[in-house]
Amino acid sequence: DSTAHIFMFNLTPCSTVNKSVWKAALTWVPRGDIHFLKIVFSVWYDGAKALSWKELLCSGADDEYSVCGTLKGETLVSTFDIKGSRTRFPKGNYSVIVQGFSDDSEDNRLLCLNFTMIVKRDAF
């Protein structure tokens, strides 16, 4: 929907360079119950997709993430680690789109974030 959402994601980029684990914080008030959550993360550079990543965070059974089971209207405050291999991004401006879906078909979108990542030197 076009109504402003209360959503905040914090990551301190300068302190994450060359670290194997990144610390992140999330504050969000979802507009629907979260029993199933699939995240689609896309990075675009100069009109071409530079990175695409999909992850099923909540499936309704044995979910390990604190976001799973959050009810509509509850304020979710969570900190978590981002682990895994790092992608090296050359200097430039990147369009980043993060979408969350409440079904595997990616028809029912719960959230959509569109922001610009500015890499000032070859890093990550």
Total number of domains in the chain: 1
The secondary structure of 4-15, three-state, reads CCCEEEECCHHH
**Using one digit for the tens of pLDDT, what is the confidence trace for 56-104?**
888 987 788 778 888 888 888 877 777 666 667 788 899 989 888 888 8
6 or 81, greater pLDDT: 81
Domain that holds residue 114: 7-119
Give the predicted TM-score (pTM) of the model.
0.70
Residue 38: helix, strand or coil by DSSP?
strand
**Residues 4, 40 contacting (CB under 8 angstroms):** no
91: domain CATH number is 2.60.40.770
- Given a cut of 50, whether residue 124 has pLDDT beyond it is no
The answer to whether residue 124 sits within a structural domain is no
Q: In what order do the strands lie in the sheet with 76-83?
A: 7-10, 21-28, 76-83
Q: What angle do CA 37, 52, 76 make, to 5 degrees?
A: 30
The answer to whether residue 20 sits within a structural domain is yes
The answer to whether residue 59 sits within a structural domain is yes
Residue among 63, 62, 119 nearest 88 (CA):
119
